[in-house]
Amino acid sequence: MSDLVTTSMVSTELTSADLESILQSTIQLAKTAGKLILEGSQAIQWASDNNVNEKKNAVDLVTEYDVRVEELVRKEIQEKYPHFRFIGEESYSAGTRPPLTDEPTYCVDPIDGTTNFVHGFPFACISLGLIYKRRPVLGVIYNPFLDHLYSGVKGQGSYLTRGSAPPLRLPLSSQPKPLPSLSKAVIAVEWGSDRCERTIAAKARSFARLAGNPVQGVTGGKMTHSLRSMGSAALNFAMVAQGGLDLYWEIGCWPWDVCAGIVIAQEAGGLVTGSHEAFAATASSSAFGDVTEEILTGRKYVVVRAISGDSGETSTDAQKRIISEFYESVEDAPTN
pLDDT tens digits, residue range 12-66? 789 999 999 999 999 999 999 999 999 999 988 887 565 534 445 667 788 899 9
What is the chain's alpha carbon radius of gyration, rounded to the nearest angstrom?
20
Percent of the chain predicted with pLDDT > 90: 82
**pTM as predicted:** 0.93
What's the confidence (pLDDT) of residue 49? 60
Of the candidates 112, 190, 250, 267, the residue annotated as catalytic is 112
> By percentage, how much of the chain surpasses pLDDT 70?
92
Mean pLDDT confidence for 294-321? 94
The active-site residue, picked from 37, 77, 87, 89, is 89
Residue 109 bears catalytic tag: yes
| pLDDT for residue 236 | 98
Query: Among candidates 252, 251, 237, which has minimal Cα distance to 305?
Result: 237
Given 22, 77, 111, 264, which residue is catalytic? 111
Active-site residue 49, yes or no?
Answer: no
Encode pLDDT of 229-270 as tens digits. 999 999 999 999 999 999 999 999 999 999 999 999 999 999
- 290 labelled catalytic: no
Residue 307 is a catalytic residue: no
Is residue 10 over pLDDT 80?
Answer: no
User: What does the pLDDT read at residue 90?
Assistant: 81
Q: Which of 26, 101, 105, 114 is catalytic?
A: 114
Q: What is the pLDDT of residue 57?
A: 65
Q: Can you give the pLDDT at residue 100?
A: 87
Which among 109, 190, 246, 250 is annotated as catalytic? 109
Tell me if residue 111 is catalytic: yes
The catalytically annotated residue of 190, 250, 257, 267 is: 257
CB 171 within 8 A of CB 239: no
pLDDT in tens, 129-171: 999 999 999 999 999 999 999 999 999 999 999 999 999 999 9
Q: Is 131 a catalytic residue?
A: no
Confidence of residue 9 (pLDDT cuts 50, 70, 90): very low
The per-residue pLDDT for range 64-100, each reduced to its tens digit, is 999 999 999 999 999 999 999 999 988 777 776 777 8
